[in-house]
Amino acid sequence: MNDVPDPRANGSTEILAAEDLRKTYGDRTALKGLTFSLNAGRVLGFLGPNGAGKTTSIRILTTILRPTSGRFTVDGISSDHPEAIRRRIGVLPEGLGFPKQMTAFGYLTYFTQLYGRPVGEARRVATVLLEDVGLQNRAHSSIGSFSHGMRQRLGIARALVNDPAVVFLDEPTLGLDPRGQRELLRLVQRIAKERNKGVVLCSHLLSEIEGVCDDVVIMNAGSVVARGSVAEVVGATRPELDHVVRIRVPVASIARTQELLEVFPGVEGDVRSEDSTGWLDVKLHAANGSGPDESRVRNDLLESLIRADVPVLGFDVGGGRLEDVFLRLTAEAIR
Amino acid sequence: MSQGLALAGRSEGATGRTIPAWWLIFKQEAVEMWAGGRVLRFLALYAVLMSVTAYLLATNNDLKLVTMKASVVVAVTSTITFGLFIGLVIGAESISGERERATLEPLLLTPSGHGQIVLGKFLAALSPWPAAFLLSVPYVVTLSHRDPVMWLALFWGAVLGSLLAIAFVGFGLLVSIWSDSSKISLFVCLLVYAGLLIPAQLPTEFLNSPGGVAVSAVDPLESASRLLTMVVDEGRPLSQAWVYIVAPTVMTAVIIGTLFFYSARRVRLTAE
């Protein structure tokens, strides 16, 4: 393990690096070679369908599980030293439980002390973190009286008590209402940007991951199927998903829009619609190729709809979203 | 807000005394158990059982069905038997219960060694025993009519009870470490507890036979009862009863050794 380079030695800001991590349970392989890295101040989205190996990966990286083979470093510390790594990571596990009788302040003070801080400093850290996550007014309320969103925020505060270099958040927005999700994701971004932490975010909410994450690792059946910055991953997959445009119109206008589109030059075949939502899938002729020609077709198509007084509520270029990439790359598992 | 985030960072110049993780965990668990009312409920039930036992013993003593010394021995034996039950149940639930409540993972993620986590929980589960023993003192004093034999009974009750309490709490924790469900760990512990009480229900003729003596010497609960009978009731010297302290001592040593030197290091998020 001594040959694992210390990423900080050459001035790099790489704080998490995994190299060919594998995990097997008897005959079953849960993880087939996970390799990626994360720099300080960035948020990495960890995506994949159920059973893809996300939780196994997170548990290995947080030292809860030992890999069958492979290695990783956290803030320059080798995976040979799990106790030292635990001092440099913060984790919000999925479905975390809380002692309901404890107060939020007592809970954070307790965990801060478990990281070796004196009680006075632990209380100060607890006070500041409660303010950071917006729970300062409920500091002395018992956790049992907290809503799910408040508990999630408290869980994030607990993950920060040791001033970690890397924070792992496993499905932090699960079960939250839209406002709660937005607030929590904003908090995640602040942790990365203001505190210069690396954040690994596991989530199924692809649209929100796309808005928050800088980098992404997509897993399927234990393997990494894509990794890089969000733009890189989307860009690399996009040519295969091009030639599709999604247009949203009022449900009452679906039939008329379909008629217009099906006679539009450059549109291939029938225009499919989702009657309940008003989304129409429009496939463009591949013969138009990609690049400027196809952009022109898309622009003309939109212009013709506007001229025909069709109220366009949404216009998406196929393959332009992380969700499209995710669905394509994980299609096999879903099938 | 950003200032707040910066303030929460590590302070290199932190001063003050850091507290060992085992003590923090012990304190937290003990507060939760005592202030949460769990231990108090157990102790209330214990007091009821002890009251009923003491009442029956006092009545029998008045009717000359049982001697004063014998009733003191039964009271101390009951103290041990009921008192151990509390520690066993709390120990059996301590790790598997945390698994069920999904509160174990944050503890395992701290740099505290697993041995410290187990030690903290072990001491917390042991904490009701001294209270249970103290609760039994008035019953023993009353039944002994302040005869000096009460001191002997209380001394041996404290020694044997503490030895067995350590063993039973340790056993509960051991089972809990290897179980994902509190129901299963409680079931296993209660099965073993009931099994150890069986010799006490066997006929006196059998217990006085060589086979019975062997069973009594192996069963730590029956050993404790025998030792109390010989030393307190029959007034025999310890040199004649020492064999009955072997089983509780060996049981305690084996369980504590296994718990702290083998199983504690293997505490995992799920039982393996």
Domain assignment of residue B4, yes or no: no
Q: Is the pLDDT of residue B153 over 90?
A: yes
In this prediction, residues A213-235 reach a mean pLDDT of: 87
Global ipTM = 0.87
Using CA atoms of B190, B193, B197, B199 in order, give the dihedral in degrees to the nearest 10.
120
Beta-strand runs (E) in chain A: 14-25, 28-39, 43-47, 69-74, 77-78, 89-92, 166-170, 198-202, 215-220, 223-229, 244-248, 267-274, 279-284, 314-317
Domain assignment of residue B238, yes or no: yes
What is the structure's pLDDT at A318? Answer: 65
Confidence (pTM): 0.83
A235–chain B nearest CA distance, Å: 34
Count of positions (residues) in chain B: 272
For residue B103, give the nearest of A97, A131, A194 by CB distance.
Answer: A97
Contact A83 B9 (CB under 8 A): no
Residue of A91, A105, A114, A187 to mutate for B, most B C-beta atoms under 10 A:
A114
Contact in structure between B85 and B182 (CB atoms under 8 Å): no
Angle value at C-alpha B167, between B165 and B168, nearest 5 degrees: 65
The three-class DSSP label of residue A75 is coil
Contact A89 B109 (CB under 8 A): yes
Topology agreement, domain A14-228 and domain A243-318: no
Overall number of domains in chain B: 1
Provide the CATH topology of domain A243-318.
Alpha-Beta Plaits (3.30.70)
Q: If you ran DSSP here, which 8-state letter would residue B15 be given? A: -
**Widest CA span in chain A:** 74
Provide the CATH topology of domain A14-228.
Rossmann fold (3.40.50)
In this prediction, residues A178-198 reach a mean pLDDT of: 88
Residue range A257-288, pLDDT digits in tens: 988 888 888 787 777 776 677 888 888 876 44
Residue range B209-267, pLDDT digits in tens: 888 889 988 999 999 999 999 999 999 999 999 999 999 999 999 999 999 999 999 99
Percent of chain B at pLDDT exceeding 90: 76
Contact in structure between A168 and A43 (CB atoms under 8 Å): no
Average pLDDT, chain A: 85
- Quote the domain boundaries for residue B229: 20-266
User: Which range (A195-199, B26-30, B172-176) has the least confidence?
Assistant: A195-199
Contact A91 B17 (CB under 8 A): no
Using CA atoms, how far apart are residues A134 and B72, in angstroms rounded to an integer?
A: 60
Q: Is the pLDDT of residue A289 over 50?
A: no
Q: Which residue has the higher pLDDT, A40 or A332?
A: A40
The secondary structure of B201-223 as a DSSP string is: HS-HHHHHSHHHHHHHHHSHHHH
Q: For chain A, what are the domain ranges?
A: 14-228, 243-318
Residues of chain A contacting B95 with CB distance shorter than 8 Å: none
B257–chain A nearest CA distance, Å: 24
